[in-house]
Amino acid sequence: MADELKTPIAGLHHVTAISGPAQENLDFYTRAMRTRLIKQTVNFDAPEMYHLYYGTQDARPGSVLTFFNREEGGTGQAGAGAALGFAYAVDPAALVDWQARLGGQISTRFGAQVLSLRDPHGQVLELVADADVGERDAGDWGVFHSVTLWVEDPAPTAAILTEVFGYAFVGEERGTGGRRLRYALPGDAPGRVVDLWQAEAPVRARPGPGTIHHVAFRARDAAHQAALRAALLARGTQVTEVKDRQYFKAIYFREPGGVLFEIATDGPGFDLDEPMAELGQRLMLPPQYEPRRAEIEDRLPPLVLGAA
Ligand code: ZN
């Protein structure tokens, strides 16, 4: 591993998916899943659409799940070239209670129990029993365990994970209709596990509600992000310039399996434009859209936040 890459990536930063109507998405993730709405904003590239963020009470990187909310609904297709699902780490003793609340099926994967279900718009969502979670307090609920990437050929994706990001191969298991290869980071970073799913049947992903748009990994700081960007460019991977995403700085590239990857910084953070105690309570717009607030609010459906 090159000198600048002796520091592994710090796990997941966020996962961004596409949902159907915002209110149904909000009700499921705040009421059924009990995560906190930490930001109400719009898709910066399409401001007629909500972009809702959920996470732990303190909105920490490694817990952030965001959705582009499509009011017109429709469905996407999970398949090769996109992330298949994301998983939260859950107290093993609470797994059956979660199943009673949410439904879904429990299976065993790499020695741990996993509850698998779908959200109201068809997104694959999992809860993985993790003994470390029992020791955390309730405010810590909502930290990711892992993400699963669906790829036709795992090898080139695995090379990015191990040679650039610092993951190590854990093992392989057969599942229904395919095989799963597990990679993990050293230490206890939130979302330190990435699974690669290789299906027997050739299915290509088609974006839409119920599918994941991109997976964002967490750089330790801007210098780490710059080192990772340089390492990717040196391998011949096309990477974007650093983009200002208001709450963090981000670079993007498509990994060889077709999944859109992002590498994001922690700063400036989700409390940039509203106090931590009030996150998610009102629509926040980036400076370029603030002059159009009335028009934008007019086109968005009103949201009933309820008790989070
Ligand atoms: Zn992102």
Q: Does residue 253 belong to any structural domain of this protein?
A: yes
106 contact partners, CB below 8 Å, separation of at least 6: 95, 96, 99, 113, 114, 115, 116
Q: 67 CA to middle of ligand 1, Å?
A: 10
pLDDT for the residue 238: 97
Q: 223 CA to middle of ligand 1, Å?
A: 19
Q: 15 CA to middle of ligand 1, Å?
A: 7
Q: 96 CA to middle of ligand 1, Å?
A: 32
Q: Does residue 220 belong to any structural domain of this protein?
A: yes
In the chain, which stretches have pLDDT less than 70? 1-5, 307-308
Phi and psi at 100, nearest 5°, equal -65, -35
Q: Does residue 58 belong to any structural domain of this protein?
A: yes
Q: Does residue 304 belong to any structural domain of this protein?
A: no
Instruction: With beta carbons less than 8 A apart as the criterion, state whether 52 and 22 touch.
Output: yes
Phi-psi region of 24 (alpha: psi -120 to 50; beta: other; left: phi over 0): alpha
Q: Does residue 295 belong to any structural domain of this protein?
A: yes
Q: 262 CA to middle of ligand 1, Å?
A: 6
Q: 177 CA to middle of ligand 1, Å?
A: 30
Q: 212 CA to middle of ligand 1, Å?
A: 11
Q: 111 CA to middle of ligand 1, Å?
A: 31
Q: 305 CA to middle of ligand 1, Å?
A: 23
Q: Which residue has the tokens 């974006």?
A: 207
Q: Does residue 160 belong to any structural domain of this protein?
A: yes
Assessment of whether the complete model's pTM goes beyond 0.85: yes
Q: 216 CA to middle of ligand 1, Å?
A: 6
Instruction: With beta carbons less than 8 A apart as the criterion, state whether 213 and 68 touch.
Output: yes
Residues spanned by the domain of 153: 2-299
Q: 124 CA to middle of ligand 1, Å?
A: 18
Q: 43 CA to middle of ligand 1, Å?
A: 11
Q: 108 CA to middle of ligand 1, Å?
A: 30
Q: 179 CA to middle of ligand 1, Å?
A: 27
Number of domains the chain is built from: 1
- Domain holding 90: CATH number? 3.10.180.10
Q: 174 CA to middle of ligand 1, Å?
A: 31
Instruction: With beta carbons less than 8 A apart as the criterion, state whether 14 and 65 touch.
Output: yes
Q: 198 CA to middle of ligand 1, Å?
A: 24
Burial class (CB in 10 A: 0-12, 13-18, 19+), 259: buried
Q: Does residue 306 belong to any structural domain of this protein?
A: no
